[in-house]
Amino acid sequence: MNLPALETLLGGRSAREFLAEYWQKKPLLIRQAVPGFTGVLSRTDLFELACNPDVESRYIRLPADGVDGDWTLEHGPQPRSRRRGKRQPWTVLVQGVNLWVPDGDRLLHRFDFIPQARLDDLMVSYAIDGGGVGPHFDNYDVFLLQGMGRRRWQISDQADRSLVEGAPLRILKHFTPTEDWVLEPGDMLYLPPHWAHNGIAIGECTTYSIGFRSPTAQELGTEFLAWMQDRLQLEGLYADPDLELQQNSAEIGPKMVDQIERMLAGIRWTRRDVEAFVGAYLTEPKPHVFFEPPEAPMDRRRFEREVGAHGFALDPRSLLLFSAAGFHLNGEPVDADETLRPALAELADRRCLPASAVARFGPALLELLHDWYCSGFGAPQ
């Protein structure tokens, strides 16, 4: 698959211009963002993934009687008979295609002009004529890249976000589109969060959604407190040598609350804690992601020869990010010497390290990469 230069992907704009004018601000339709694009996998392979119990997928069938009717939503694994239904328009959506298809991973990472920490996954939908997920809005940014066939996209910046009650998916009750386009293979539509949209397949088609993650404050708070809990070390023990006789034995007296309040005031965190938490949180693999260590791993010497000849690549499932708190890989801090920082930063940015770069850093880097290889986090290229 040939991926275009960033300027082509962004319709003749630089990434800086796109960020300043459109990102999280307004939609952008880019004709021929990926010239010649028809997808990264065949319909058969997409259905194969949808039938796999380790892959998140959804089947959605439109109601016969308009948006208020009976929507059907079935989570995967999809039955093999799925693709035969023809009575009502339907679609199958497969999440995390980047984890299974190398070209899908490359496509997702073409969008890493947005920090990788914001990238979520590549979702691929297949729909028969008239199929779609209905008018809705998402809480995150999305690039909708047309694969095979054509799709009509209608969008709206409407304030009315009321949803059809009782539907198994979030369908807008009143959708009033203000723009209407037909996307051909390779065309792409960028939508900021909360823009209402509806994509209707014209004939059978596939759409590639490059999605971003936008954690809620509640989610961050809950995860941060769970992270802190494992690291919390408070000194002291409740004590009351000056205890005075209370009138009501069942009363929790103000002095008791004062003392507990002082004890709890010992719960504090620093910016370094936040950095370490963010590194762990943002590289934590999703619940259905598992790493497969190699069945018969190469020993250090053979690994060294392979990596020395071809370089090293991260597994598409691996998440490697860094901050002032150092590197985090798949939810864990990386214990590496400061001298390896440039090599690891290059590996994190590019998701692979050429043989020449590995050679510059010597045995400490090779040992680390060999450990990662034995855990299934990456392999010689």
> Residues interacting with Co ion, by CB under 5 A?
138
Q: Which does 209 bind (CB under 5 to 8 A by kind): Co ion, ligand SIN, none?
A: ligand SIN
The only residue of 57, 91, 95, 98 in contact with ligand SIN, by rule CB under 6 A? 91
Taking alpha carbons only, the member of 278, 287, 286 closest to residue 228 is 278
Tell me if 197 contacts ligand SIN by CB under 6 A.
yes
Taking alpha carbons only, the member of 379, 373, 324, 368 closest to residue 344 is 368
Tell me if 196 contacts ligand SIN by CB under 6 A.
no
Residues ≥6 apart with Cβ < 8 Å to 107: 1, 3, 40, 98, 122, 145, 208, 210
User: Would you say 155 or 347 has its CB closer to ligand SIN?
Assistant: 155
Give the tokens for residue 195: 């823009």
Taking alpha carbons only, the member of 297, 284, 317 closest to residue 101 is 317
Bond from prior residue into 77 cis (ω within 30 degrees of 0): yes
Residues 134-153, mask of contacts with ligand SIN (x by CB under 6 A): ----x---x-----------
The only residue of 76, 104, 132, 135 in contact with ligand SIN, by rule CB under 6 A? 132
Tell me the longest C-alpha to C-alpha distance in the chain: 84
Q: Which does 78 bind (CB under 5 to 8 A by kind): Co ion, ligand SIN, none?
A: none
Q: From the CB of 222, what's the least distance to Co ion, in Å?
A: 25
Q: From the CB of 177, what's the least distance to ligand SIN, in Å?
A: 13
> Can you tell me which residue has the tokens 């770069």?
357
Give the tokens for residue 185: 């293979």
Tell me if 105 contacts ligand SIN by CB under 6 A.
no
User: Would you say 138 or 187 has its CB closer to Co ion?
Assistant: 138
Cβ-based burial of 256 (10 A; exposed 0-12, middle 13-18, buried ≥19): middle
Name the segment binding ligand SIN (CB under 6 A); options: 28-36, 125-133, 278-286, 317-325.
Answer: 125-133
Number of residues that bind ligand SIN (CB under 6 A): 10
The only residue of 133, 307, 320, 348 in contact with ligand SIN, by rule CB under 6 A? 133
Q: From the CB of 201, what's the least distance to ligand SIN, in Å?
A: 8
Q: Provide the residue type at 103 as one letter.
A: D
Give the tokens for residue 26: 């307004």
Q: From the CB of 21, what's the least distance to ligand SIN, in Å?
A: 22
Tell me if 121 contacts ligand SIN by CB under 6 A.
no
- Residue length, the chain? 381
User: Would you say 109 or 197 has its CB closer to ligand SIN?
Assistant: 197
Give the tokens for residue 63: 């109601």
Q: Which does 315 bind (CB under 5 to 8 A by kind): Co ion, ligand SIN, none?
A: none
CB 144 within 8 A of CB 191: yes
Q: Which does 199 bind (CB under 5 to 8 A by kind): Co ion, ligand SIN, none?
A: ligand SIN
Tell me if 110 contacts ligand SIN by CB under 6 A.
no
- Return the percent helix, strand and coil in the chain, to nearest 5: 30, 20, 45
Query: Residue 16 CB: number of other CB atoms within 10 A?
Result: 10
Q: From the CB of 48, what's the least distance to ligand SIN, in Å?
A: 19
Question: Which single residue brings its beta carbon nearest to ligand SIN?
Answer: 125
Secondary structure letter of residue 121 according to DSSP:
E
Q: Output phi, psi for 123, to 5 deg.
A: -105, 140
Q: Rule CB under 6 A: which residues touch ligand SIN?
A: 91, 125, 132-133, 138, 142, 197, 199, 207, 209
